[in-house]
Structure 1
Amino acid sequence: MASSIVSDLGLGSGLDINNIVKVLVQSDTAAKTAQLARQSSYNTAYISGVGSLRSALTAFTTAMGKLNDKAAPSFNAFAASSASDSVVKAIASNTAVAGSYSVEVKNLATSSKVASQLLSGGVNESIPAGDLLIEQGGKTYTVKVGVDATLQTVRDQINKELGSSGISANIIMGEGGARLVLGSTETGVGTDISVKGIAKLEIDGTEPMVSGGAGYITSAAKDAVVLIDGLEVKSASNVIKDAVSGISLELTGPSVAGVATKVTVAANNDGLKTSVQGFVDAYNTLQKAITAMTKTSTDADGNLVLGSLTNDPTTRSLLSDIRGVLSEMGGGDRLTTLSQLGINTQKDGTLEFNSSKFTAAMNDKKLGGEVQALFTGTDGIFERMNKAIDPYNAADGSLATRKNSLDKVAKNISDQQAALDRRTESLTTALTRKYVALDTALGKMKAQADQITSIFEAINAQAKKS
């Protein structure tokens, strides 16, 4: 055995100390090293899988959120269009009725815009201290003007204190001085701005400016006036929601005198189909992502390869819960299941959307009015789907808890690896010292043996001569 560890590269005895120590240390630590490598690989894959699953769930719920946007609702059974968006824009809700309407905008609703009297001192005009009372629509706002105030500081103070209430101020320089100008985002009759409390800035917003005096700039605030199929409608806002059932009209400009704009409301089958397809696509993206994480495969050598979440009980439970939502009956009168819209689950868990069956449901069975309730209504598919997903994907859900546990395992593995590295270093140092000492001792013994051999050779030589 000794001859097998002799190396010409060694010192003294010829032992290859580095290689001997390396082999002995590996023999001592190999099992633990392999164990930690397996644990780390498994845990890292699991962390990655949980992170990917949470990302996929978030993407799915975000897609549902966009389809359920209250500002731009999907799944409306009807769609409205205007012959001239520069005059009126129309949005139909799920309660609209198919038909056409003639809309003539006589005038838009306007807001109050008023100016103070002409102040010769310009932006630096001195304004006496006191309470500046700004009144609009039955509300009074008090701006406390301090000493040494100027027209500019009063303007800045108004914007700071009343900006959130929709009132803004500015200064317009003109011939002979400056005026404080107040405006508002509120429209309609009775929203005129008046200012009291400080004589220099008093304004009666219902009176026009005369010469250098104060008042409204162009006109007092007005209501919108619209003729809908010849019937006059007045509105304090340029968005009229109640004049025609199920239709919101946004007035964008006055009509040419005597010229009406046609607003058409029709079945929104194409829009409904796009929204339903959007849900199917979002769900299938989630299903495919989960399948990729849970499937098994074989590599080039025929070895079984597991996905990052293969056989994970939490993922199986999640899949069961969200698939259960798809099979539950809705609360509609006639439309209660996705299959009625041509949506069915395939063998791989993804959804199939049958366009022909959907078209028949819209045209023949007239189910368009119930699609919105099935998806976005109270206890609809979106609400139930979010309830199913939330226990898993919430900030304190089971996946977040799992991630925290896996992070702790990763930390423990790292600590064990650090301890193993320290043991490897310590063992290497100790064994190296021992073999260096052995090498030194063997070197001395070899030198002594060589010396004794020389003595005997000298004796033999002398004996031969005699």
Structure 2
Amino acid sequence: MASPIVPSTGLGSGLDIGSIVTALVNADKSAKQTQINSQTTLATSKISGVGSLKSALTAYQTALTNLGSATNPAFSGFAATSSTPATLGATSDNTAVNGSYNIVVQNLATSSKVATASFSGGATSAIPSGNLTITQNTTATSFTIPANSTLQSVRDLVNTQTATSGVSANIVTDSTGASRLVFGSTTTGAGSDITTTSSVAGLVIPANTALNSATPGSAGYIGSQALDANLTIDGLAVKSSSNTVSKAISGLSMTLVAAGSSTVTVATNTDGLKTSLQTFVDAYNTVVKTITSLTKATADSKGNLTVAAAMTGDSLPRTLLASLRDQLVTPGPGSQLSVLSQLGIQTDQKAGTLTFDSTKFTTAMTSKSLGGQVQQLFSGTTSTNGLLARMGAVLTPYTQTGGILDTRSSSLTTQKNALTTQQAALDLRVTNMTAALTAKYNAMDLLVGQMKATSTSITSYFTSLSASKTG
């Protein structure tokens, strides 16, 4: 804080009172001000460093989560491709084998859709109190229809149980204004047709009966009953109640899209694995480089490593990095492939980052046939023993809300706030001290002025007295 004193020269003493007071005040506050400034700079730097570290770890966690996705496996040893994606899509897991398959989709699996008799009053048609039971695949869901119900309120009543019954309802109104309650389901396959029984005659939908839309009292299935998917694999007939066929070919799952033919090819996923491994290496190296930048001292103008970084000397990032490195060398659950070095991934002893030897990786994929083991190394045989899960377990205590980094940041913020309070107290002390010294020096200056005036008066008196005697 700058001194509020405006430099001025005392009229009585001729002294530069402003400079004197400023020098005295600055000498008094110098040590404390230096301490506050250095500690504030350090706390601010550490808060920023903790924030940077948490951002890097969070990004690493996101990368690990994406690599460990169950719906889009990043480390699958095999890749399946369909020659006609508009007919079917294909994915493979690590139990697949290289091969090619000719697939002909004759028809897709369909779900049940049925309609009640029509109600001339439309959606607001009055429905008497009673009961309604909807049955699909031998599973029955019962409803009690209260008094003063309408076709719309019955629809809403059915939809309250969709999550458990698997059946949803809606209302379709034809050109005459008459409405039917239509039931549908996402369950596919032969035998999954919906039927209903009810004390309300118009809500009864019998089994194996087609709807005649021209007859108001008709109720039944719309178009056709639910069907299984029919396809051939290399000429062998296959049925499936679902449009996802996952058990027909070992290690291969097919999603049927439309009728037609396609060739599915399964091959070693060398390029895909290489990309995923490089993604893992890059994500890990980003964390290592961030920690290095936050902890490594830099050289001053003389070349000495004396300029501290935000977390130089802090044990927290060193402990974190040591824990992450431990996971890199901990053997995985596989017998053939248990460590990253077998895939050409090594640690640079100087920088601490990972390097990826693509030549060694290609050898592991071809001559050693380790492609099918990579997924197991990273994802494990349980939810905890894979490399990705172990890495995540190390990171979580640091990144979670209220975790190690949040606690450290909170502590540093408290320190910084305390320094702000100390600065305010020091500023008040400077103001008070400046005012007190200024008052004292001004009083001294006034006294000196008075003494000079008295001296001048006495000198003048004796001078005039001496002159009168000589005259």
Q: TM-score normalized by structure 1?
A: 0.89
1:232-243 equivalence runs, <5 A = 232-243=237-248
CA RMSD between the two structures: 2.7
**How far 1:173 sits from its partner (Å)?**
1.6
Q: AA paired with 2:356?
A: F
- Tell whether 2:421 aligns with 1:410: no
**Greater shift after overlay, 270-279 or 387-396?**
387-396
Gaps spanning 5+ residues in structure 2: where? none
Structure 1 residue 219 corresponds to structure 2 residue 224: yes
Which whole-Å CA distance do the structure 1 matches of 2:398 and 2:85 have between them? 45
Q: Are 2:263 and 1:262 aligned?
A: yes
Q: CA 1:219–1:456 in 2, change beyond 3 Å: closer, same or farther? A: farther
Paired positions, count: 457
Which among 424, 428, 434 is matched to residue 434 of structure 2?
428
User: For 1:63-115, what per-residue CA distance to the aligned partner results, in whole angstroms no more than 9, with x for missing partners?
Assistant: 11111100111111111111111111100111101111121112111111111
Higher mean displacement: 436-445 or 183-192: 436-445
Write the letter of the residue equivalent to 1:309.
M
| 1:326 aligned counterpart, secondary structure | helix
Q: Is the 8 A contact 2:7 2:18 kept in 1?
A: no
Amino acid of the residue matched to residue 189 of structure 2? Answer: G
* Paired amino acid for 1:24: L
Q: Write the deviation string for residues 199-257 of structure 1: whole angstroms up to 9, x where unpaired.
A: 332223532112221211111122212212222222221111111110111011112xx
Correspondence for 1:311 among 310, 313, 319: 313
Shift of 1:454: 5.9
Worse-matched range after superposition: 233-242 or 195-204: 195-204
Instruction: Flag the 1:215–1:443 CA change in 2: closer, same or farther, 3 A.
Output: farther
1:372 and 2:375 are equivalent in the alignment: yes
- Worse overlay, 291-300 or 403-412: 403-412
Say if 1:97 and 1:18 are closer, same or farther in 2 by CA, change over 3 A.
same
SS in structure 2 at match of 1:85: coil
Query: Does structure 1 residue 381 correspond to structure 2 residue 395?
Result: no
Which residue of 2 is the match for residue 77 of structure 1? 77
Q: Distance in 2 between matches of 1:209 and 1:275?
A: 53
Q: Which residue of 2 aligns with 1:345?
A: 347
Flag structure 1 segments of 5+ consecutive residues without an equivalent: none
Over 3 Å counting, the alpha-carbon distance change for 1:133 and 1:348 in structure 2 is same
Is the Cα–Cα contact under 8 Å of residues 8 and 14 in structure 1 kept in the other structure?
no
Give secondary structure in 2 for the equivalent of 1:104: strand
Structure 1 residues 101 and 432: alpha-carbon distance in aligned structure 2, compared to 1, 3 A threshold: same
- Deviations along 1:387-432, one digit per CA (max 9) or x if unpaired, are 3334444445443443333233223323322322232233223223
Whether 1:323 and 2:328 are equivalent positions in the alignment is no
In structure 2, C-alpha distance between the alignment counterparts of 1:446 and 1:386, rounded to whole Å:
84
Contact 1:223 1:235 in 2 (8 A): yes
Whichever residue aligns with residue 235 of structure 1, its letter is S
Shifted more, 43-52 versus 198-207: the winner is 198-207
Give the TM-score normalised by the residue count of structure 2.
0.88
Please give the alpha-carbon distance, in whole angstroms, between the structure 1 residues aligned to 2:57 and 2:310: 16
2:179 corresponds in structure 1 to 178
Tell which deviates more after alignment, 395-404 or 27-36: 395-404
Preserved CA contact (<8 Å) 1:6 1:14: no
Alpha-carbon offset, residue 459 of structure 1: 5.7
Residue 165 to residue 421, structure 1, CA distance change in 2 (3 Å): farther
Contact preservation (8 Å) 1:121, 1:178:
yes
Distance change in 2, residues 1:132/1:445 (3 Å): farther
The Cα offsets for residues 280-339 of structure 1, whole Å up to 9 and x where unpaired, read as: 111111111111111121244656211212222222222222222222333322222222
